[in-house]
Amino acid sequence: MMEEKAPHVDLVPWTVGDVALGIVVVIGLTLLIGFGLGMGTVLLIGPEASLELGIEGSTDLSKVFSAFLDFLEKEGLLQLWVVMALGGMVVSEGAMPLMAWLFSSVKYHRGWRALGFGSFKIKRTLILVAVVLIAGILVNLLYEWVLTSLGVEVSSTLPQELTRTGVSLAMMAILTVLVAPFAEETFFRGFIFAGIGNRYGYGWGVVVSALLFSLAHTLTYMQVWPLLPIFILGLLLAWLYMRTGSIWPCIFTHFAYNSIALLFMIL
């Protein structure tokens, strides 16, 4: 599987250094957006809010976040903060395809096709998409079952605050179902996987891109338990890219996976 030639290899001019720079810039922009959200939060609730929350020195992030949300709800600021936070996440996701486009189109003048936006065989691809989607879901369900059997708490539902109103639910759906599949597949598969694979072999490209994909989700949601199933999903998506020669099937699969996951989280 790992020895297959990745698609559009002749169209991938960016180097591993470019990939590293792109990753650093995306991380920097994400941190900057997070800092802006933090400052906006301070302005929203006031600098003395931590005293009212009673969480000084607490290292339990779930406790801190729960107390913070309760405080916002009491002050009537909860939905405003949720919209602000989700908006920041949409902008952060948008930084990924932007960075990939800057290298592919601006620096090397190769356009979107170098990132994998090409044609594919529909009938064959539908079968492969179904295989990857089913495999990804089964791995996730099996992993959750094992953790639950071992007594590890697994949270698979969204906080009610993120789905309480039509606005927040719509923004969450746009982020997870529309923005994330396009942004993340373009960056992790079209840019990172292709760039690393083109220089060091596609086995390394598959593993590194899947690992970064998994770490990004783990850090975003501040939960360690999804690390392994998301890593395996990343491996499957890279394999799908190699087999189909296009990034579109990866986006469709990611879209379907996130749609199903969002549905289960809401329910």
**pLDDT tens digits for 156-209?**
555 555 666 677 778 888 889 999 999 999 999 999 999 999 888 889 999 999
Q: What pLDDT, on the 0 to 100 scale, is given for residue 189?
A: 96
State the pLDDT confidence band at 116, using cuts at 50, 70 and 90: very high
Closest CA to 187 of 252, 250, 97, 86: 97
**Segment 138-147 mean pLDDT:** 91
The residue among 77 and 112 whose pLDDT is bigger is 112
Residue partners of 213: CB distance under 8 A and separation at least 6? 184, 188, 230, 231, 233, 234, 237
**pLDDT tens digits for 61-96?**
556 666 777 777 777 887 788 888 888 888 999 999
**pLDDT tens digits for 220-255?**
766 777 889 999 999 999 999 999 999 999 999 999
DSSP 30-59: HHHHHHHHHHHHHHHH-TTHHHHHT-TT--
Its pTM stands at: 0.88
Q: Where are the domains of the chain?
A: 9-266
**pLDDT tens digits for 26-52?**
999 999 998 888 888 777 777 666 555
